């Protein structure tokens, strides 16, 4: 009924914009108004879409990103021209590196003013060309409908990613006949649907059946394609252990016997050793990022490699592979799985268990309580308290991000939302807002460092304005922790520009009307986490943790994957020793 009423009527470009967003299934947008996008904001009063007013346009993009990652749909962010649009750049790049489908809509100066250095004019399509999957400049109302439809199609199809639509002010103000059906995407040069050849399947099967020491490398693409069950069935049938990337955490249950844990720079030692000792790597929906491989010259030197990936550009980009299966991961595994033999790989799995060696002894969770409060304690306690709930953790970037990956055991997909590729500090708080809007029934926790929190903490106001129940755990060590760690290891402990003078985060939160607490001791962690969960509203907890704690293991830049700085042997000391 709605289509019949609207199609064929004359509407402004601004009204067509909201109409198209509604028809794409959009119920929420995250934005900040300004002069060049004002016609669109004026037309918003006729739309059912809920607009969430952010405090900074970067926050809008992270919210759209978090919304998309948590729910699997497309997130939408809106901003004006010039600085409004350029403030979105970091969020767009973040979404691009992590294949997150968002559509960013920006206002632009009038089409006759383009190129004149008009007030708040920026060539945002030129600026974002390298960090978008595609972008558009719309100068006529008649182009709005088709552009929006194409933008959503491109953002969500194939390898997902961000798309920007820049609409001039006159294109929003002028009118044309709206025709939804005529605006159907054509895109003859864009064909993301790919299928491997039968010969490639045969070659892959031959490698899998001949392998004695195979390892599956599980990446973010598993979650994007919804192939979690297929990967589990494949691993179980073939008896192959599974190592995960940071963004792949949750794609394979943490408690599964074949789950090795996270690989790479801060992956566990046995995981990296297993990869280096393997004779076959089966990469599923991952892109051989440098944080995963270490020095490429020495990466898995004896292993054949199979790469299943939907983006042909990723094949042989970083690591040359023996067999490439380009296509949707879910469909590829549907084809492979019934033809997989089930050999006995117990010898290989037993050898990996032996690789674990003394790692458990070195783990801080297994050391006596000394009275010190470490970030790993906090994260592990949050996991223990929330693991039975429908919990989504949103992290920022730095040491706490790696500790979260190590000590929060993710059983399900889309329960860890983090900036993996770009490593964007300031991501967590706004992204959590998008997560909560996307999944209001979920228990949402932000785990963030004291440095990253201050980059986007203005969005506390958005949390209050939208009445969102989000719990925030600040891992406060008084440093830009990961940078300090690199200075400790590689710059002779010259802590240049890394100590932080922080505000009282609890009082800051209270100024926004948010309940808050400050924790200094391990004994207070669990009671405070429980208080946050029971509170009917957002709560911020400022955890003062050990300042010079270090993330182990660590593969230094330029080192091979097996050349790790291991956790030191335990030396038991108490807080009273200091």
According to DSSP, residue 241 is labeled -
Whether residue 169 lies in the annotated active site: yes
Q: What is the DSSP letter of 323?
A: E
Please state, in angstroms and rounded to a whole number, the distance separating the CA atoms of residues 83 and 337. Answer: 50
* 3-class DSSP state of 8: coil
* Residue 278, φ and ψ in degrees, nearest 5: -70, 155
Which residue, 290, 481, 505, is CA-closest to 401?
A: 481
Q: How many CB atoms lie within 10 A of CB 388?
A: 7
* Neighbouring-strand partners of residue 29: 51
How far apart CA 266 and CA 255 sit, in angstroms, is: 19
Instruction: Give helix 57-71 / helix 428-438 axis angle, nearest 10°.
Output: 50
487 catalytic residue (yes or no): no
C-alpha 510: how far from chain center: 29
Using the 8-state DSSP alphabet, how is residue 369 labeled?
P
CA 214, CA 238: separation in Å to the nearest integer?
Answer: 9
Distances (CA, A) of 400 to 377, 379, 505: 11, 8, 17
Active-site annotation holds for 63 = no
Distance in angstroms (rounded) separating the CA atoms of residues 216 and 234 = 10
The two beta strands, 28-31 and 50-53, are: parallel
Q: Which of 119, 202, 212, 489 is catalytic?
A: 119
Find the catalytic residue in 120, 173, 337, 465.
120
337's tokens: 């799985």
Annotated active-site residue in 11, 19, 30, 57: 57
Element containing residue 392 per DSSP (H, E)? strand 391-395
**Burial of 371 (C-beta count, 10 Å sphere; 0-12/13-18/19+):** middle
CA distances from 345 to 241, 303, 352 (A): 10, 16, 11
Cα dist from 309 to 206, 219, 421, whole Å: 19, 10, 17
Locate 286 and state its tokens.
């991952």
Asked about 57 being catalytic, the answer comes back as: yes
Tokens 């961000």 sit on residue:
162
Is 482 a known active-site residue?
Answer: yes
Catalytic residue, candidates 96, 265, 455, 482? 482
For 432, phi then psi, to 5°, come to -65, -30
CA angle 498, 502, 504 (to 5 degrees): 160
Residues 133, 169, 304, 305: which is the catalytic one? 169
Whether omega for the bond prior to residue 386 falls within 30 degrees of 0, making it cis, is no
- Residues annotated as catalytic are 57, 119-120, 169, 482
């Amino acid at each position: 009924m709605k289509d019949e009423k609207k199609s064929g009527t004359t509407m402004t470009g601004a009204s067509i914009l909201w109409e198209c967003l509604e028809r794409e299934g959009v119920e929420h947008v995250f934005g900040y108004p300004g002069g060049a996008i004002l016609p669109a904001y004026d037309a918003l009063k006729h739309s059912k879409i809920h607009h969430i007013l952010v405090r900074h346009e970067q926050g809008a993009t992270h919210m759209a990103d978090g919304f998309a990652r948590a729910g699997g749909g497309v997130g939408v962010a809106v901003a004006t021209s010039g600085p409004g649009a350029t403030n979105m750049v970091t969020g767009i790049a973040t979404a691009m590196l992590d294949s997150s489908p968002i559509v960013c809509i920006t206002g632009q100066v009038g089409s006759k003013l383009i190129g004149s250095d008009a007030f708040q004019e920026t060539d945002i399509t030129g600026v974002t060309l390298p960090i978008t999957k595609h972008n558009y400049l719309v100068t006529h109302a008649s182009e709005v409908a088709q552009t929006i439809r194409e933008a959503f199609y491109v953002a969500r199809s194939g390898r997902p990613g961000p798309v920007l639509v820049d609409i001039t002010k006159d294109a929003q103000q002028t009118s044309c006949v709206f025709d939804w059906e005529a605006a159907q995407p054509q895109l003859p040069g864009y064909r993301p649907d790919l299928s491997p050849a039968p010969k490639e399947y045969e070659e892959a099967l031959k490698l899998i059946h001949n392998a004695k020491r195979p390892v599956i490398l599980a990446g973010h693409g598993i979650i994007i394609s919804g192939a979690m069950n297929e990967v589990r069935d494949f691993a179980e049938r073939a008896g192959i252990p599974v190592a995960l990337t940071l963004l792949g955490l949750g794609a394979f249950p943490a408690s599964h016997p074949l789950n090795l844990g996270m690989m790479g720079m801060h992956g566990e030692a046995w995981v990296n050793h297993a990869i280096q000792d393997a004779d076959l790597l089966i990469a599923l929906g991952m892109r051989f990022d440098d944080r995963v491989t270490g020095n490429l010259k020495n990466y898995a030197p004896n292993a054949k490699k199979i790469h299943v990936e939907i983006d042909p550009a990723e094949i042989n980009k970083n690591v040359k592979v023996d067999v490439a299966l380009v296509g949707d991961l879910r469909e590829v595994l549907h084809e492979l799985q019934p033809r997989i033999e089930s050999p006995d790989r117990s010898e290989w799995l037993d050898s990996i268990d032996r690789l674990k060696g003394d790692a458990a002894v070195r783990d801080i969770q297994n050391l006596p309580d000394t009275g010190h409060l470490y970030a790993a304690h906090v994260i592990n306690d949050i996991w223990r308290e929330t693991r039975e709930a429908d919990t989504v953790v949103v992290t920022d970037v730095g040491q706490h991000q790696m500790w979260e990956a190590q000590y929060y055991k993710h059983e399900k997909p889309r329960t860890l939302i983090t900036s993996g590729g770009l490593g964007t500090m300031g991501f967590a708080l706004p992204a959590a807002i998008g997560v909560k809007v996307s999944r209001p029934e979920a228990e949402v926790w932000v785990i963030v460092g004291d440095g990253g929190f201050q980059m986007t903490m203005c969005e506390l106001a958005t949390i209050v304005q939208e009445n969102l129940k989000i719990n925030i755990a600040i891992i406060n060590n008084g440093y830009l922790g990961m940078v300090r760690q690199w200075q400790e290891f590689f710059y002779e402990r010259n802590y240049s520009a890394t100590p932080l003078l922080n505000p009282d985060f609890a009082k800051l939160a209270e100024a926004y009307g948010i309940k808050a607490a400050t924790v200094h001791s391990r004994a207070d962690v669990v009671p405070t986490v429980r208080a946050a969960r029971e509170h009917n509203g957002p709560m911020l907890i400022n955890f003062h943790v050990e300042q010079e704690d270090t993330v182990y293991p660590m593969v230094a830049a330029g080192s091979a994957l097996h050349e790790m700085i291991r956790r030191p042997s335990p030396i038991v000391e108490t807080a009273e020793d200091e």
